[in-house]
Amino acid sequence: MGFRLSWSDYVLDLDERTHVMGVLNVTPDSFSDGGRYFEPERAVEHGLQMARDGADIIDVGGESTKPYAKRLSCSQEMDRVIPVIEVLARELSIPISIDTYKSEVAQEGLKAGASIINDISALRFDPNMAPVAARHDVPLILMHMKGTPENMQQNPHYRDLISEISQFLKDAIDRSVKAGVREELIIVDPGIGFGKTFDHNLEIIKKLEQFQSLGRPLLLGTSNKAFIGHILDKGVDERDTGSMASVAAGVMNGAQMVRVHNVKMGVETVKVIDAIRRGEV
């Protein structure tokens, strides 16, 4: 597909191998690890450890977007993430992503050393996000979500799941490009668990290859999600095996990037799947 992202001092060659994004939640209430890395020192150490474990990107977020989560102010969010990004940017050679839907937070995150924007709203919540990404010439991740975190799981319904998500992402790509974002720096994410039922999540993973018609790299974020707990009857701290199974399925079906909490397991999983798919190590 020719997915080689090049910007600033970074190159991500997504044709060469599947890339792993490590999740760093600097929050007291995220669904998977809320509170575990809320203290800046612990967050920084965890980010450094994920890099040592082989992460290609560290995704730093300061606001929980689990179902029914309440929104933070920009200042609250920045108080959480900016100190962590500043330290990680000095210590790491891999890119840092700022996970936010607020352009002001993204702007300050980029100033602090982040170099990717991960917007779960795909520009819907803040129309100034695309201009920020364009001005800084950084990759922009656009994720599908039906509704908002406050209401997305209130009986989500689709007439045609895959085509509706595809059209949503195509429109978001078009808006980004019109705002000046280089199309070759856009990544799309179908948004597992964001306004999706159990069956929707499984269908997206099964039919992931259909999103390749968008012509952009696919990021899949299944790690520790509720659908895995439902299948295995496991709590959120017991879903590593299920998460890696979903990662393997996603990569086999066309994901170029995966977003995971357990980076060490994620790196090993995609290395095996890449070898099976490509016939080489």
DSSP structure class, residue 218: B
Write the DSSP symbol of residue 143. E
Q: How far apart are the C-alpha atoms of 246 and 250, rounded to whole Å?
A: 6
Longest dimension (CA), the chain: 49
Helix (H) or strand (E) holding 167: helix 161-178
3-state DSSP call for residue 71? coil
Three-state SS at 118: strand
CB 211 within 8 A of CB 257: no
Report d(CA 39, CA 27) in Å as an integer. 9
Q: Is 90 a catalytic residue?
A: no
Secondary structure (3-state) at 20: strand
The pair of structure tokens assigned to 259 is 């977003």
- Cα 173 to Cα 119, 130, 191: the distances in Å are 12, 10, 15
How far is Cα of residue 4 from the mean position of the Cα atoms in its chain?
18
Terminal Cα distance for the chain, rounded: 20
Among residues 102, 146, 239, 259, the one annotated as catalytic is: 259
CA atoms lying within 13 Å on the CB side of residue 15: 6
Examine the residue annotation and report whether 17 is marked as an active-site residue of this protein: no
Please give the Cα distance from 134 to 173 (Å, whole number): 13
Give ∠ CA 165-18-200 in degrees, rounded to 5.
Answer: 25
Q: Catalytic one among 36, 225, 234, 239?
A: 225
**Catalytic annotation, residues:** 225, 259
